[in-house]
Each structure stands twice: as structure tokens, then as C-alpha cells.
Amino acid sequence: MRGSLAPVACGRSAPIPLSRRRFTRSAAFGSLVRVKFAATRRLPTAHGRALVNRESSTMRTSVGLVFLLVVACDGGAPEADASIDAAPVTDATPAPDASPADAGLAAPLDEALDCRRPGSAGGLPGGTHLTRVDVDLDRYPDALCNDGTGGVFFVRRATRAEDADRWIVQLLGGGTCQDGQSCANRFCASGSAIGALKMSSREAPTRGTTGEGISSMRADNPFATWNHVVIWYCSSDAWSGTARDVALEADHPERPGEPVRYRLHFLGSEIFDAVVDTLRAAPFSYRDASGDDVVMPDLDEARTVLLAGASAGSGGVRNQIDRFAEALRSDNPAVDVRAVLDAVMAPAREALGYADSALCRERDVCTYEAHLRPVWEETRPLRGAVGDESCPAWHAANDPGSEWRCGDLDHVLRHHITTPFFFRQDQADGVVMPNTVDLGYTVPSRGDAPMDARLFAELIAEEAATLTTSAWWSGEAHEGAGVAVIPGAFSPRCGHHETLRTESATYGVRVEQDGTQRAPMGLLAAWLAGDPVRAIAGDPSTFTCP
């Protein structure tokens, strides 16, 4: 059963035979946990579902899912604002009747709205470096985009035998939506370059894509010969959602005052889980551009795995990385799992002044708590969001009532991610900086000076310096005692937003470290090898932009 939003056929690959191993979420927190097939086993999962596994001595049968649609769940939350969002901040409050229970009364997204536009940003070029694979919806019926089309990913096997146990799994970004109006506007690309392309797999390249940025095959990319997986983003939830058939209301984006009621899915976490499960269910194979059948190595036999993401993809990494690392280590304790975060942060909102901001003047959001509490209490349940589990647990134990802070993924990064991470944040980020400046925050640590481009750059440079010192993790971070590797950082001042899948902004940028101009991929490789690294732009002589 795939729900009432029928997936659009888009060249699905042949079903992949079931492995003897499969993982699902734990009942308590939604962690990815490897389980063995038994004669008949019903495993409780998060969000009120039961996964039924059956295997006889002679054959395996397909997996069925019993749905009890419960949206609220424990765990982390989606982003708070434009620090990982490529669209302007909008109110996080859902329509009063936004509920899956009402979904039967609402038309599917693409039927209710007649203004579908893909938008001009966020696509992938067609190519042959990575091959398209469609998620098997018979095995993973919840791996659906906002509009009900099936999840998609792209793969390339390691090109050197010695790198067969090294992996990069990349979560694409492209903003989010969090209520009826923002999702309707997104679907119609109203007021933004991002549109329905990020809510569907219809526009995903049909055969494959070109490797760029961290997945580039160029000689100066130290990761060119690794296994690469790029997961298409189409859930608008920073890879956090587990909610099907969410009913929402809005004004028609092109006919103000005309009400529309529609339903969509927030299932980004389900897509992520399905892809990871597929990669762990060895043997997994694909047919490449030359027509050859290629067998991928087993992800559970990996030596090194990087979970990477940019913008909303970096939000996805923060939502998923600790449970992803725990899942892989449960089967392979020696695996080195790390995070790579691009376009990851804005200046800490906990330290900004709201009283004179546009949020306060226009929406009566005049404090950090007023900004973040709705994300935690309204947007998170709307999406059935899965996220970092230790953040709400820590706050419940140490500062009860402050769990809402976990709705700020920048706070989660600074205090609660314990998997080693490397981050890149441009001090003049062309999306995050203007969005932050335009909101009109003040900076109490600078005498309540109004936020501007200069202050934004200074604060990002300070954040990068702070997070790459042991003093922060040993003395300030809430869960710093669990951090075994000090983060690495690359912080240029070139005005780029995300760079993980671009060529010039990845290979044409240099920032000085100890008198040497460093490029981000080389710096990342050095950090993986155990070197303490941070390259943070200062005066113009310390960085080079393409």
C-alpha cells in the first residue's frame, strides 16, 4: 500500500532481492538498527508503525507495513531559519486543521494547485558519472517525495580497489517549507527560484548525473576514487520527516484570496533510511551508462563513511548523523563515520537581539524563545520530524522545559552532535548573510550594533575559530565530553552559498592556514588523516576567490 498519493512512474529499476539483513527505527527514538530476519517477527518502530518481517526456510516474502499515522515523535527538529534554508524565513505555524486525519478531505498537491513550476535552482545536470537508481517502493513504500513520486539516488562504485571501503553519502539541499502557504508557494516557485523540482523526483535526471564538487572525478579531488552516493532532495523537510498525507491550507499563490486545501508528504527521513538500507542490503547492484552491471561494496564493511550535505542538506546531516553513525557501528564497530557540513550556520541566534528586528515588528517574535519554540512545538510534529536524539534528552535532564532549543539546528551543532564533523561556512554567504541582515537583528556583544555584512563575517569567523578549539568542547558544549575529534573548518569570504556540488567554488577557493593557501577538499583530507585543521579568512591577503 502506498497511500492515496499515487507515485508517478519514472523508470523504476527492477526490484532488488531482499537481503537477510534489514534495519528499521527503534521504538524509543527512531534509530537505524540492524535486525535479522526470523520466522515471523513484528518489530515496533517509531511513529506508531510495525514492520513485519517474514522468512520461511525456502523463500523470502516481501515486507509489509501496517500504518498507524501518528505525527508527533521524539527527536530533533527541522531548521529554525535561513541558516540552512535557501528561501526566506516564513512563519512556522501550520494551518489550524493541518492534520493527516483530515487528509482524505484534501486533494493531492498537484491536483489542488494548478500553478506547478519546477523553479530555476537546485537541479542536477544529466551525465554518466553517477547512475540513477529509483528506490524500490515495494520494499520502502514510505520513501516518497512531497508529491508522492518515489525517492531517487545516484551511485558510483569506487574506481580503485583500495578505496572500495570508503564512502561519501551526500544529501542534497534546496530549502524547506513548513506550513500551508510556504509549501504552496514553493510548489509554484512563487517569490523564489526554488520550486516543485524540490518537491518531486519528476525532474531528477533520468539516467544519471555528472560528478561535481566533492564527487568530481578530477585528479585534484582526493575523494574522486571513493564510492559516491548522492540522494535527491524532494521532501522539503531537511531530511527529517516521517509524516504522510498532511493536510494543509493556503491562499492560491497566484490568486490571492482564493483558498486551496491540499495534502502532501514530509518523508525525508524515510527516503534517507530506504537508501541506507539498500546500501547495507548486500549485494546491491546497478547498471551503468555502458550497460555493465556493477555490484557495490557492502556499506556495512566500510572503513570510512562521510555523510555530507549543503544548506538544507547540512540540516539533514545534523538531523541524521549521530543515529546513522550508531547504526553503522552496531554492525561494524571499527568504521570511522564523520560528517561534512556545507553552508551550515548563521551567527548564533541565542546571542542576538530580537527587540528591533523585523520578526518583532511584523510578527511579535521578539525573543529567541518566541522564534524557536514554534519550530519545536508545531513544525516538528507537523513533519513527524526525526532528528538528533541526545539534544532533547540532555535538556529534559539538565534544564527541563528548554527542549525547544533543539529546534535550532545551529544550537544542535554547537552542543549536541558528537560524531566528528568538518564544516565550511562562507563569511559572506550569498543566501544566509542577506537573509540574516534583512531580519534586522542586533548584536549585544557589539553594543547592540545592528547586524550588517561586516558583523556577519566577524561573527562567522569567531564561530569557526571557537568550534575548532578543545576549550569549547571541554568547557562549554553541553555534550562536549562525548566529542573525541575536534572539528575542522574552512571559512572563506567569497560570497558562495553551497559548494559541495560545484566546481569553481570548491576547487578555485583558497584560504590561508599557517602561511599556506589551502583548498577545502585538501583540508578535509588532512583532517581525516588526523591533522588539526582550520582555515579561516581574515584580511583580503588570506583568501582567494575564483
Q: What is the pLDDT of residues 316-353, one digit of tens each?
A: 999 999 999 999 999 999 999 999 999 999 999 999 99
Question: Could you count the other beta carbons within 10 Å of the beta carbon of residue 543?
Answer: 21
Give the three-class secondary structure for 196.
Answer: helix
Q: What angle do CA 25, 313, 528 make, to 5 degrees?
A: 90
Upstream peptide bond of 283 is cis (omega within 30 degrees of 0)? yes
Between CA 96 and CA 311, with CA 387 as vertex, the angle to 5 degrees is 90
**What residues does 424 pair with on adjacent strands?**
342, 490
Q: How far is CA 389 from CA 76, 136, 245, 331, 382, in A?
A: 6, 28, 25, 20, 18
In which residue are the cell numbers 484534501 written? 106
Instruction: Give CA–CA dist 178/180, Å, rounded.
Output: 7
C-alpha–C-alpha distance, residues 360 and 479, integer Å = 32
pLDDT tens for residues 380-401? 999 999 999 999 999 999 999 9
Q: Is the pLDDT of residue 72 over 50?
A: no
Predicted pLDDT at 282: 77
Q: Over the stretch 478-529, which tens digit does the pLDDT of each residue have? A: 999 999 999 999 999 999 998 998 999 999 999 999 899 999 999 999 999 9
CB-count exposure of residue 42 (10 Å: 0-12, 13-18, 19+): exposed
Q: Percent of the chain at pLDDT above 90? A: 77
Across 204-226, average pLDDT? 96
* Cell numbers representing residue 450 in the block: 545592528
Whether the CB-CB separation of 352 and 443 falls below 8 Å is answered with yes
User: 7-16, 237-246, 352-361, 503-512 — which is least confidently predicted?
Assistant: 7-16
What is the grid cell recorded at 398? 539538565
pTM for this model (two decimals): 0.83
- Beginning with the edge strand found earlier in the chain, give each strand of the sheet holding 304-310 in spatial order: 208-209, 126-134, 152-156, 227-231, 166-171, 304-310, 336-342, 421-424, 488-491, 534-536
Of residues 515 and 38, more confidently modeled:
515
* Rounded Cα gap, residues 55 and 310, in angstroms: 40
Report how far apart the first and last C-alpha atoms of the chain are (Å, whole number).
50
Q: Is the pLDDT of residue 167 over 60?
A: yes
CA distance 63 to 44: 14
Closest CA to 194 of 296, 123, 120, 244: 120
Task: Give the Cα separation of 101 and 311 in Å (integer).
Answer: 32
Rounded to whole angstroms, the maximal C-alpha distance in the chain is 73
Select from 144, 165, 292 the least CA-distant residue to 225: 165
Q: Are 535 and 490 in contact (CB under 8 A)?
A: yes
> In this structure, what C-alpha cell is assigned to residue 515?
602561511
Per-residue confidence (pLDDT) for residue 105, from 0 to 100: 76
Distance CA(214)–CA(95), nearest Å, equals 39
Give percent above pLDDT 70 in the chain.
81
Mean pLDDT of 404-423: 97
pLDDT, the chain, mean = 84
Separation between Cα atoms, residue 262 and residue 181, nearest integer Å = 11
Nearest to 357 by CA among 448, 447, 461, 456: 448
Structure-model confidence comparison of residues 160 and 50, the more confident one = 160
Taking 60 as the threshold, does the pLDDT of residue 170 lie above it? yes
What's the rounded Cα separation, in Å, for the pair 437 and 424? 20
In this prediction, residue 122 has a pLDDT band, given cuts at 50, 70 and 90, of confident
Length of the chain: 546
Give pLDDT, residue 475: 93
Of residues 540 and 273, the one with the higher pLDDT is 273
Look-up of cell digits 484570496: 257
User: What pLDDT, on the 0 to 100 scale, is given for residue 102?
Assistant: 60
> How far apart, in whole angstroms, are the C-alpha atoms of residue 534 and residue 470?
13
Mean pLDDT of 269-283: 95
Please check the confidence at residue 92 and state whether its pLDDT lies above 70: no
Distance of CA 17 to the CA centre of its chain: 28
**At which residue does the C-alpha cell 535557501 appear?**
86
Q: Tally the C-alpha atoms within 13 A of residue 232's C-alpha that lie toward its C-beta.
A: 33
Give the span between the Cα atoms of 80 and 76, in whole angstroms.
12
pLDDT of residue 99: 52
In angstroms, the CA 413 to CA 156 distance is 30
Least confident of 34-38, 173-177, 384-388, 432-436: 34-38
- CA-CA distance, 407 to 422, in Å (whole number)? 22
